[in-house]
Amino acid sequence: MRFRPLGKSGMVVSTISLSLTDRAAVVRPSDWVALIYSAFENGINAFEINGDTPGMIDGLSQALRAVERRLIYVAWRVGTRMGPAGVPVRDFSAHTLARTVDAVLARSGIGYLDAVVLDDPHTEEFSPQAFDQLKLMRADGRTRMLGIAGQDDAIDALLTTGAFDVLYLPFSLISGWVERRRLKVAIERDMGVIAYDYYPKTFHGVGGAAPKSGGWIARPKAAAPTPRSNPLAGAGTYAFLDRTRNWTPEEICLAYAQTEPSLASVQITAERAERIEALAAIPDREMPPGVSAQIEMARFSAVGAEKKVRGA
C-alpha cells in the first residue's frame, strides 16, 4: 500500500480508503470488526462512515482499540440518513448535525472524528446556523476537519468559503471539466481530496460503452476481438476494459484514478475481506502497456462526439 498527505492536515493516508455504510449486508459488530481488521492488514488506514446503526458503530469502536487512534483517519458523513421506510431523509439543521456527531462519539468512544463530511448539501438545505455549528465542532475538538461531498452546484460556493479542509468528489476515467475544476480549486486551497465512484455504473458488465450522462455521448458496444490484421479495431471506445488480460474493468478504473497525483486517496466499498485484499493490491500494480493511451483515446473520442452534437 502507498500513502499520500491529506492536504495540509499533517495526516498521511493510504491511497485506498474504505467506505463503511449501514446499507451493507454486514450487520453484527463482529462482522464489522473482521472487515476493518482486513483493511488494516492490507495497509488501509482511512475510513469514511455513512450511517449510524449500533452494530457498525460498535464494530468500529472495537476494531480501533487494536491500533493507535492517531494513526487512523475516520470521517463521518452527515446530513442524510435512512428513514423507517428505507427512504433517505435529508436534514442539515444545526441541531441534527450536532446530535448526530455527539451520539456517534458517545457510543463509539473514539474520542474525536478526523472529519465531519456534509453529504451533498444543496444551497437551500444549509443554513448559517449549521455552518456555525460545524465550526464549533472543529473548534472544540469533536472533529479535526470539515469536509464536503457531492455534485450539487452548492459545492462550488462552499469551496470558496475556505472553511472546509477535505473534498470528496466522484472521479473516474470519464470525469469531465466540472470534477477536474473542483479538484484544481481544492488543491489550490490546500484541501485534502478523496475520490469515490471511480468505477462508473455505466461500465458494470457493459464493454465498449461510454456514459450517457454527465456530458458524455453513448458509443456503440464494441464487437468481439478482431484479427491482428486490424490492431487498431475498437480504438476510441472503452472496449479494452473487457479485453485486458489479468485485469478486470473495475481494477483498470481504480488504477486510473490512482494515477491522479492530486488525490490523497480513492475510496472503495467492500463487504468481504477478499475484495479488500484484491483492490488494495492495485496501487502496487502497473497498468499494462498501452492502456493509458487507450483511456485517453476513448476520453477524447467521447469529447469530440459531444462537440459534434452541440455544433449540429
- pLDDT by residue (tens digit) across 73-84? 999 999 987 766
Q: Which of 153, 151, 149 is nearest to 75 (CA)?
A: 149
Calculate mean pLDDT across residues 168-196: 94
Distance in angstroms (rounded) separating the CA atoms of residues 60 and 68: 13
Which carries the bigger pLDDT value, residue 212 or residue 238? 238
**Has residue 200 got a pLDDT over 60?**
yes
**SS3 at position 182:** helix
Q: Which of 123, 112, 118, 155 is nearest to 133 (CA)?
A: 118
What single string gives the DSSP state of each residue in 51-67?
---HHHHHHHHHHHTTS
Rounded to the nearest integer, the mean pLDDT of the chain is 85
Distance in angstroms (rounded) separating the CA atoms of residues 144 and 140: 9
Q: 43 burial class (0-12, 13-18, 19+ CB within 10 angstroms)?
A: middle
Q: 279 burial class (0-12, 13-18, 19+ CB within 10 angstroms)?
A: buried
Ranges of each domain in the chain: 3-205+249-287
103-152: pLDDT as tens digits = 999 999 999 999 999 999 888 888 899 999 999 999 999 999 999 999 98
Q: pLDDT-derived band of residue 240, with 50, 70 and 90 as boundaries?
A: confident
CATH class of 3-205+249-287: alpha beta
Distance in angstroms (rounded) separating the CA atoms of residues 188 and 173: 22
**Has residue 231 got a pLDDT over 70?**
no
**Has residue 254 got a pLDDT over 90?**
yes
E strand segments, the chain: 3-5, 12-14, 16-21, 46-50, 73-78, 80-82, 88-90, 113-119, 143-149, 166-170, 192-196, 265-269
